[in-house]
Structure 1
Amino acid sequence: MVFLHGLLGSGLDWAPVIRHCSSAYPCLTIDLPGHGQSRDITALGFDDVNQQISDILCQYGIRRYVLIGYSMGARLGMYHACMPRPANGPTLVGLVLEGGHFGLPESQRAARLANDEHWAQRFMVGPPEQVLSDWYQQPVFASLDAAQRQYLITQRRDLFGPGIAQMLRATSLAKQPVLLAALGELPLPVHYICGEKDAKFRALAASSALEVSVIPAAGHNVHAEQPDLFSAALAQFLIQFQ
């Protein structure tokens, strides 16, 4: 199992899930460019990040893998799954998407690009505590209580900086192709996980025709808010590979 985190995160975010799964399956977390141990690595765009992911899989000698991604990591995961891969390279056998957007229509892209540029500039120069506090007040994080928000701010402030801004610009949702149709044509199982309280992504999932697990008492970041239930949904998906 290969895990991709979201913006402002790192591979360490998956630790509660990996504790559930690592006894049954080998697990690899990837710190995406600008994040964690890869904070000094840059990305030029979706193709560049996709190539970096492929290079890491080859570096570790992985032959068959299930890819699990959250938010930005889910978008990169679906892009990776939909792009051509070498016939003699590692084989993707399953895809799990947590709170990932399938892509915007052309009419919404300019506004999203402007919004992402606004946040990128704040990540470049703003005081971490204030910028992160404002970031986690966005509607997608409405299910978080004050303690959860403060925990995330404390966890993320050391990751704050220009690498985050660069990655946000490189992989903006405004630059992502619409991938839902391609996902539906993949010759492998795709499963979508979202939180009961994440209204936006529940609606996206419901309209996708993908297999969906809705996790109770969870918002956008299901694996952080309900790691046991997320792990149970993941384990159910993995049964088909045993």
Structure 2
Amino acid sequence: MLYSHIVDNQEGSGIEKKQAIPVFLHGFLGSSQDWDSCFSHLNVSHAIRVDLPCHGLSKYCEVEDFQQACHQVQLTVLAKLKKENMDASMPLIFVGYSLGARITMYGLAEKCFEGLNIQGAILEGGNFGLQTEEEKVLRWENDKHWSKRFATEAIDYVLFDWYHQGVFASLSPDQREELVELRSDNLGSQLGCMLRATSLSKQPYLLDSLKQLTIPLLYICGEQDQKFKALAEQSGLKFKLVSKAGHNVHHEKPAEFAALISDFINQLK
């Protein structure tokens, strides 16, 4: 089972008891601590944060594919609710960033979160999937390349190159240096394992299935994140662009991101 912890906000104790609880899934290279700055602006009574497989305090929990990753998340959230004496029917809102968004989308589209009362989802910078075999082959070769590097080279050198990829173009040199230092405590071999298990090349194209869901979805991305801004605008999903932000909105603009979560939850009432 994955590591998780529940945030109990005493200041939010007056909030409606059945208010939906957000469940946070971080991105590749991250951990549940990535949401710290967002929480300081978030007015909810409780929230659940999960360390995904091969990350954080779940670094030795390996999975082979998306289905296993979703199953681990499902079991972890159910166990956390039980431990906190909360009913399994407690309404939940999944909030996923990048890899966490892809796991959320896969779990919803493929019905992998059985037993969880998910009332909506917020998807930050998540890729819906590739549509051609050529794209999938190229992506698999790319992910194998990075997986091998993570497993065999000094992690700080690999991270330096990782954060020079196009999707991180909006980062300043200081932001890149900060991220390299922050992520260097990961285990490279485990990152490689998760990268292979959840490669975008192995993910089905999920957008059509997501549009068939009856629960509300909100897609969030930074206005400076050109790739995912285009995906959001073409998706047909409800989306919000956050000004002066790149790929990692919740880190760059935590107050704005928290406000979007609060608005989303309030609209469910």
Q: TM-score, normalised by structure 2?
A: 0.87
Cα deviation, 1:137-189, whole Å, max 9, x if unaligned, reads: 00000000011001100100011321111000000000001000111111100
Letter in 1 for 2:128: F
* Within-5 A mapping of 1:1-242: 1-21=22-42, 23-61=43-81, 62=88, 63-84=90-111, 89-106=115-132, 107-242=134-269
Distance apart, 1:18 and its partner CA: 1.8
**Is contact 1:193–1:215 with CA below 8 Å preserved after alignment?**
yes
Offset at 1:83?
2.1
Q: Structure 1 pair 37/185, CA: closer, same or farther in 2 (3 Å)?
A: same
Q: Distance in 1 between matches of 2:116 and 2:35?
A: 22
Give the C-alpha shift of residue 241 in structure 1: 2.6
Distance 2:75 2:91 in 1: 14
TM-fit CA distance, 1:85: 5.1
- Is there any run of 5+ residues in structure 1 with no aligned partner, and where? none
Q: Distance in 2 between matches of 1:25 and 1:100?
A: 27
Paired residues, what number? 240
- The whole-number CA distance in structure 2 between the counterparts of 1:86 and 1:15 is 25
More divergent stretch after superposition (212-221 vs 53-62): 53-62
How far the C-alpha of 1:86 sits from its partner, in A, is 7.1
AA aligned to 1:151 is E
User: Contact conserved, 1:34 with 1:41, CA < 8 A, in 2?
Assistant: yes
TM-score, normalisation: structure 1: 0.96
Instruction: Report the Cα offset of residue 20 of structure 1.
Output: 1.9
Residue by residue over 1:202-221, the C-alpha shift from the partner in whole angstroms, topping out at 9 and shown as x without a partner, is 00000011111000000001
- Percent identity (aligned): 42
**Aligned alpha-carbon RMSD (Å):** 1.2
Q: 1:83 to 1:146 in 2, by over 3 A?
A: same
Contact 1:81 1:95 (C-alpha < 8 Å) held by counterparts: no
CA contact (8 A) 1:8 1:160 kept: no
Q: Deviations over 1:18-61 (max 9, x none)?
A: 2222x423111110110000001101101101110110111012
Which residue identity is paired with 2:151? Answer: M
Distance 1:2 1:86 in 2: 12
